[in-house]
A and B are shown apart, each in its own frame.
Chain A
Amino acid sequence: MHAFRSIGGFALMGRTAALAVFAVLFVCADVRASDEEAHVRGRELFSKCERCHELNPERGNRIGPNLFNVIGRPAASVEGFGYSQGMRDVASGGLVWTRENLDRFLTDPRSVVRRTSMSFRGLDDDGERADIIAFLSTVKPDDFAARSDADGPAGAEIGAAAMSMQGDTAYGEYLSTECVTCHQTSGADEGIPAIVGWPEEDFIRALFEYKSNVRNHPVMKLITSNLGDEEIASLAAYFSQLGQ
């Protein structure tokens, strides 16, 4: 199950093209001190996003699409990522992730993309959004090289047993009937997070975090209380293939 990270890949640009972009960034490295500070702050703030978004073009998609070089990119253009209908609609309407559009999206995702599957309530703080956007427009290989180390599993991972199992999608589909009273199979988030098309590991980790109170939520705690490894692995397998 560890293979998922490389599946899907970052299809928008090949490796060479990605390197070329870095070169351009380095050549134009005429970054003023204040921009540099914004970049550092934005990198810190990006921790709000990185549970779902990878930046390293080598590492593909996660719960959300890879965000490497997102500024100026047309919406919903990462191949192999299962975007919501809402995102595909605004994309065919011509939405491009300019700084302005990104700023509006990050303020209140659901007001820009109706029924988006990005389960993120938005950032009220103008300065924080500006810093994240500054960071995203100046991402350097160092930024994500350092991060992938920091990411590394320290000791036995929560839910490891379930992650090593092959989930049964038929069993998962049955168990999912309990979930879809709240979570929509279409992936729309209208107040309850979208859970379709996730990498299985992230899904399993999330459920174990509710089970073990790493994440605190009474409803999800209750729901996961009588789900074992096999149930959780099966749910992860079923939901990961929805919306793809």
Chain B
Amino acid sequence: MNGLTRRRFAQLTLGTAVTTLAAPHILRAQAKPRAVVIGGGAGGATAARYIAKDSEGAIDVTLIEPNKTFTTCFFSNLYLGGFRTFDSITHSYSRLESGYGIKIVHQMATAIDRDAKEVMLADGSKVPYDRLVVSPGIDLIYDSVPGYSQEAAQIAPHAWKAGPQTLLLKNKLDAVENGQQIVMVAPPNPYRCPPGPYERVSMMAHILKSKGLTDAKIIVLDPKPKFSKQALFQEGWMKYYPGMVEWFGPDVHGGIKGVDVAEGKVETDLDIFEGALLNIIPAQKAGAIVTDSGLAGDEKFCAIDPYTMRSRADDNIYVIGDASIAGDMPKSGFSANSQAKVAAMSVRGDLMGSKVFPARYSNTCWSLIETDDGVKVGAQYQPTDEKIASTSTFISQTGESEAVRKTTYEESVGWYAGITADIFG
């Protein structure tokens, strides 16, 4: 610990003593302080688990999530590529309930009454809170691609929220024949999982190639001039899938004009691209509950205090994961899990006066390019007054040995087991 953090640590320890005296207040006013979490994904389930685990029953924890199981977006590309089963990326909430005493309410939260400190549910009932953690992930801005809509997604899946959309995309992928074309429309920044679309391209190419369909083609129409791990992906596509993947940035296609899913066509300035399968990934914003309750102001995502993940708009509410503006951190499951632990600690500090240590944030994202060929990118972050700022980063190198790439893939498998144990108990 350097001098600064050591002092900070001492201060915090001292601060704790004071708050511990102040806390009984809340404790006297009602049986137990109440923490409510909206969204049982990477961020929300982690936050609920850590608040419950570390408060050892002293805080009443409720998790609001409409679905009975959670399918992770992370590793959903590996499912498309045939490296994972759908079951192996689907998790139940049973351990959160039985092992940690979290009350799980399988409903949609429809509104937040911030004055009354209550969450409204779809069935009309209300859940009161002392502290609220909101982690609803993203909503899709369908019409950011003209002609695309929620209905159109039944024909041309986005599969950017895992579940039925993922299964639909897999079915359509498995039906592609030799000589046919897949057209992906990639999303503009900011979106969840920066390397995700390109890992998906790799996994789709892997399936085509392993079935001998090397005359099938994948066209990527990207609104961005460059993308995450670009050199690594392009090296891999050239090496494993020669002639099968073509990526067009805006300087080539000149702009995406719209999509006609019934006809299977995407129109750009340059040309009209036809695909037997269209995978349209539109622009994204925070889950509606965040924007509807005014937590995001005029923005698409919610501003937060970098030291705690507390919403800038409301001291009783924390917003984490994809829905937050987390400075230099990418929107990833790893980031959401990391932010959840900072928020959970701060919630316990608020409600029980327990120690609040300085926040630490990190992220690593692995991608699979072909069997046993994994790459990764990662960073450490520190909160500053302005934002969560990156302090150091690394990325896999082009031309790495097969052994390094295989180990990298094996690490990602270990990470998946680790993070899902950390999220769901």
**Inter-chain contact A191/B391, CB cutoff 8 Å:** no
Cβ of B334 under 8 Å from chain A:
yes
Question: 0/1 per residue, A181-201, Cβ < 8 Å to B?
Answer: 111111011111000000000
- Complex alpha-carbon distance, A186 and B420, angstroms: 13
Interface residues on A, range: 20 to 34
Q: Taking the complex as formed, is B379 at the interface, i.e. its CB lies under 8 A from any CB of chain A? A: yes
Indicate whether A228 reaches chain B with its CB closer than 8 angstroms. Answer: yes
Chain B residues within an 8 Å CB radius of A231? 1
Q: A175-B360, A182-B419, A223-B362 are in contact. Are A192 and B414 (CB under 8 A)?
A: yes
Taken together as a complex, chains A and B put the C-alpha atoms of A231 and B357 apart, in Å, by 12
- B341 interface residue (CB < 8 Å to A): yes
Which residues on the A side are within 8 Å of B2 (C-beta)? 228
Contact of A180 (CB < 8 Å), options: B9, B357, B422:
B422
Chain A residues near B419 (CB, 8 Å)? 181-182
Q: Contacts A171-B357, A178-B360, A181-B418; is A225 near B380 (CB within 8 Å)?
A: yes
Encoded as 1 (CB less than 8 Å from any B CB) or 0, chain A from 213 to 244 comes to: 00000110111011011110000000000000
**B270 interfacial contact with A, CB 8 Å:** no
**B71 in contact (CB, < 8 A):** no
A177's partner among B1, B50, B415 (CB-CB below 8 A) is: B50
Q: Does A174 contact B (CB under 8 A)?
A: yes
Kindly list chain B residues whose C-beta atoms are within 8 Å of the C-beta of A189: 414
Give the chain A neighbours of B9 by CB distance below 8 A: 171
With contact pairs A175-B360, A228-B5 given, residues A184 and B418 touching in the complex (Cβ less than 8 Å): yes
Contact A181-B380, Cβ < 8 Å, known A191-B415, A192-B411, A192-B418: no
Q: A174-B357, A225-B392 are in contact. Are A191 and B1 (CB under 8 A)?
A: no
Question: From B417, which residue of chain A is reached at the shortest CB distance?
Answer: A190
Query: Complex Cα distance A144/B355, Å?
Result: 47
**B128 CB–A CB distance under 8 Å:** no
Residues of A contacting B: mostly: loop
Tell me which of A174, A185, A226 contacts B345 (CB under 8 A).
A174
Please name all residues of chain A whose beta carbon is closer than 8 Å to the beta carbon of B334 when the two chains form the complex: 181
Q: Give B311 Cβ to nearest chain A Cβ, in Å.
A: 22
Within 8 A of A (CB), among B315-351: 334, 337-338, 341, 345
Min CB–CB distance A199 → chain B (angstroms): 22
CB < 8 Å neighbour of A223 from B6, B337, B355, B380: B380
Chain A contacts to B: CB under 8 angstroms: 170-171, 174-175, 177-178, 180-186, 188-192, 218-219, 221-223, 225-226, 228-231
- 19 new A-B contacts, CB < 8 A, other than A190-B414, A221-B394, are A174-B345, A175-B360, A177-B341, A178-B341, A178-B360, A180-B418, A181-B338, A182-B419, A184-B417, A185-B421, A191-B411, A191-B412, A191-B415, A192-B418, A218-B394, A223-B362, A225-B380, A226-B380, A226-B382
6 cross-chain pairs, A with B, having the tightest CB-CB distances, nearest first? A191-B414, A192-B414, A230-B1, A218-B394, A190-B417, A191-B413
